[in-house]
Amino acid sequence: MVGTDNIGVGVIIRDHQGQIIGALMASKCLKGSSFDAEAHGLLLATVFCKELGLKHVVIEGDSKQVIDLLQRQCSNWSMGGLLIEDARQLMDSCSEWTSSHAYREANMAAHHLAKSTLNFSEDLYDIEECFFCIQSIVNLEML
């Protein structure tokens, strides 16, 4: 989510059954386009996956432009393009990874995290639990 110069990033990591492995709320100062903000969110998500030691990763993002560029092996020298390239290099060290576009309606919990994080001054990580502010949304998404 893009504000003046602040972006909110919401990341939810789930296992193959949809159970939450971890969640991240991050607020960053970033001058740039919404594409740059979404690319930065992708990079934070991939770093989080790496820190959790995940080897098989499926990335779902609601920015079609970011997901399309992640899937293609072409150069984009914009700030967002370089962030996506960094994320791809991190994911290439995993055993297996794929990515797909998910409409925002299918990922409301992460979108809500991104909006909520603008109220915080520091990044918050939650491992094997769910932030209270999205619990009801996560429960609905699992139905």
Q: Is 72 inside any structural domain?
A: yes
Contact indicator for 9, 117 with CB cutoff of 8 Å: yes
Q: Is 116 inside any structural domain?
A: yes
Contact indicator for 11, 23 with CB cutoff of 8 Å: yes
In the three-class reduction of DSSP (H, G, I as helix; E, B as strand; rest coil), residue 14 is classed as strand
In the three-class reduction of DSSP (H, G, I as helix; E, B as strand; rest coil), residue 67 is classed as helix
Q: Is 1 inside any structural domain?
A: no
- The rounded distance, in Å, linking the Cα atoms of 12 and 111 is 10
- The rounded distance, in Å, linking the Cα atoms of 130 and 138 is 8
The DSSP code for 86 is H
Nearest alpha-carbon partner for 56 in 12, 93, 83, 20: 93
The DSSP code for 52 is T
pLDDT tens over the chain, length 143 residues: 544 588 899 999 999 888 889 999 999 888 889 999 999 999 999 999 999 999 999 999 999 999 999 998 788 999 999 999 999 999 999 999 999 999 888 889 998 999 888 878 889 999 988 888 898 888 887 77
Nearest alpha-carbon partner for 117 in 102, 134, 103, 140: 134
Q: Is 94 inside any structural domain?
A: yes
| pTM listed for this prediction | 0.89
* Domain housing 46: 6-141
The residue type at 9: V
Q: Is 76 inside any structural domain?
A: yes
- The rounded distance, in Å, linking the Cα atoms of 86 and 20 is 25
Q: Is 40 inside any structural domain?
A: yes
- Domain count along the chain: 1
The domain that holds 21 is classified in CATH as 3.30.420.10
Q: Is 18 inside any structural domain?
A: yes
